[in-house]
Structure 1
């Protein structure tokens, strides 16, 4: 009996191991199979608050010369004279080039000789007509010859005038495209001539802004993107009809301050008035949808997707007309990782001004 009791005592630890080991294993397996909780998405937010918005419309423009012309000959022939100062001022009426006109001048000489003979014939026929020595028809035929030769001389002189290229206005000469002795045609460009003392700005605007474009109004022009300095320009004309392809209106203004080279790219800013206060958000926090734009708000630690109505767009921000109330927390970073009703962890509260400075710095870089 004692020997049996001793054996039972030795088996007790083994009995407890058999019972406890499966229980521990089941707890370990349960821990492994249990779903892990998704950690909250870390985001930065801004607090929605009304800010002043100036309704300034931005347009792309091109600088054009006050006057511009390509100098072409009106007739074909060889250049016998070329006097063109590249990049120098040229006065109006200056003879720039001449085309060979020897044949035309010879034609004028021939017509003048024929005219003299015809005039002498008229002088001889006149007394005879008075005494009925010749009939009226013979006298009229000679007079007609005189008028014909005079017309030939005028016509030939007009052709000679076409062989001379003169400066149509005072301006700055461009680069010469031909050399003396070259054979030219009306399609040949000898050089260009431009007036650059006061340049014009051509720009286009969507037709929806036709009500803010008025002749005589002033606009701001950014001539240099590096310095951001703006000059004033006066609107002098608006194209009556919109472009049928782009539905844009073409506007022309005269630059009153500063100067620029014709052909340069500029930015034009037009004040459309109606300044107001609205909530603005960075453009990169907008989520485009098929029908609406959305932003993510933080409410009770959860991501809340709301539809918004946008207004005026600026370089890095956009106006929100509906969908956001003052005091709402708007997600500006981590937007792509947020899911509806998912947990969010706010890392910091940003200021819209700081975000704009960062965006401008990235663009300039």
Structure 2
């Protein structure tokens, strides 16, 4: 290459470099804008449709109805294949009817119900530090134009994501969790969806209002009460990947249950839950569990059962679980 050609090449690089940096920055801003639209839809969009969930050789089909009722935003899911089951969700509780059981389980703590959505909303500007955000092509999902986003982790502690967001409503129509090697661990996709406008169909309003008025037997409530006991064990976590911050901390000393603590960390997209419960002698379990992108790590720690659950690699959960330790023991 002649000196003149080299100078021309350098000049081109000088002029093109700021343009490339500007484009990358603009792309990240655009992706965050789509994520904001998705978050807004999560809190305000009303619709009904059919969701297909796949992981490995398993497929679950669920009908979903979601709309505002007299008690706020209600969501109802019902299994259409396999074991029967249903989930009812509103801003105040999540109620799940367990197959082969007449006793539903309920959590009535809004911190648990909405922690993931709030975390992403609050930390939307930070996720670019831990993930590469890429704007991909527009395609059709369930007959609707959808913007595809590719979210790639910048370390080995997280999974990647592909998301398809409805251009009109912002509803997440398809999502995939990706392993470090690019393998699709699980997929969620709408096979059909009807997005409502300002007017909610009468049959939907009546159904959701009826569901919100359901009463629960006392024994079905799982209430987490503030602790005022000095005998309750406090716990902390020595290792947590960069970017994961404390999202919620709950402690229960319900006299009808063994004391337990629940700690949640999130990086805005992924969440890790740590459950710690006092066990009877020889009652703890050690091992791991994997189901799609959801992993769990179980360990016994000084008479307590420690369970770490999250949609992150199993190795991440093991590192976190092994770092859980006592902080304060006060028997006064």
TM-score by length of 2: 0.18
Which one has the bigger helix percentage? Answer: 1
Relative to its length, the structure with more strand (as a share) is 2
Larger Cα-atom Rg? 1
TM-score normalised by L of structure 1: 0.16
